[in-house]
Amino acid sequence: MPMLPLTRRQLLIATAAVPWLARAQTAPLLVEGQPFARQVVVAGTALRLNGTGVRAVAWFKGYAAGLYLTGRATTAAQAVAMPGPKRLQMRMLQEVPAAEFVKAFNKGMVRNAGGAEVERLAPRMAQFEALIEQTGTVRPGDVVNLDFAPALGTLYSFNGTQRGEAIPGEDFYAVLLRSFVGDHPYDKKLRAGLLGGA
């Protein structure tokens, strides 16, 4: 059957939809009012937003988070093994003192690493804790980036400014990432969201 030509009105509608679709695919994704870019660049490499979620305990919502990777990951194993740079971005929803972050960080690392691994990582964990403590109290709207740059290690940035030196070793970032998406995550719903779930 021959295709009928588009009417002028249909053509105008179709033409107008193209830029709208393009904007929708590039516009930031809003999570609890916090914008997450669809794509970021870390260590010179473009990363795509793999998923987002919210860290919550009952009614208390601490932060929204987004995971950026070079490819798609639906499991912790895929996310950890993904080659290239990575970014875990947290956008704060509540005022939280640094001491609470340090406490949560330690708990997450210990729960997602074996005893020998924790012992090996201990000096670098102390280095990371010092960076968090220097941040002080975080407030709604503050942005924390936990980046992995293969040539450097783990980079901690607060509101767009890198704090301290890079923490060396892919093993450190692997355990840090497992704290969010591994078998013993901070929040199971957050893990599901970061891995592209609902």
What pLDDT digit, counting tens, does each position of 35-72 carry? 999 999 999 999 999 999 999 876 789 999 999 999 99
pLDDT band at 90 (very low <50, low <70, confident <90, very high): very high
Note whether residue 112 is domain-resident. yes
Distance, in Å, from the CA atom of 170 to the CA atom of 187, rounded to the nearest integer, reads: 23
Contact 191, 180 (CB under 8 A): yes
Note whether residue 147 is domain-resident. yes
Dump pLDDT digits (tens) for 163-198. 999 999 999 999 999 999 999 998 999 999 999 975
pLDDT band at 115 (very low <50, low <70, confident <90, very high): confident
The domain of 93 spans 32-194
Contact 161, 147 (CB under 8 A): no
Check pLDDT > 90 for residue 12.
no
The tally of domains found in the chain comes to 1
Dump pLDDT digits (tens) for 67-86. 999 999 999 999 999 999 99
In total, the chain counts a number of residues equal to 198
Note whether residue 2 is domain-resident. no
Note whether residue 98 is domain-resident. yes
pLDDT band at 8 (very low <50, low <70, confident <90, very high): low
Note whether residue 63 is domain-resident. yes
Maximum distance among all Cα pairs of the chain, rounded to whole angstroms: 72
pLDDT of residue 116: 87
CATH number of the domain encompassing residue 74? 3.50.70.10
Contact 40, 47 (CB under 8 A): yes
Query: Which own/partner contact pairs does 126-131 have at CB distance under 8 Å and 24+ positions apart?
Result: 127/164, 127/165, 127/167, 128/154, 128/156, 128/167, 128/172, 128/176, 129/102, 129/105, 130/164, 131/156, 131/163, 131/164
| Model confidence, pTM | 0.86
Q: Phi and psi dihedrals of 30, rounded to 5?
A: -90, 125
pLDDT band at 26 (very low <50, low <70, confident <90, very high): confident
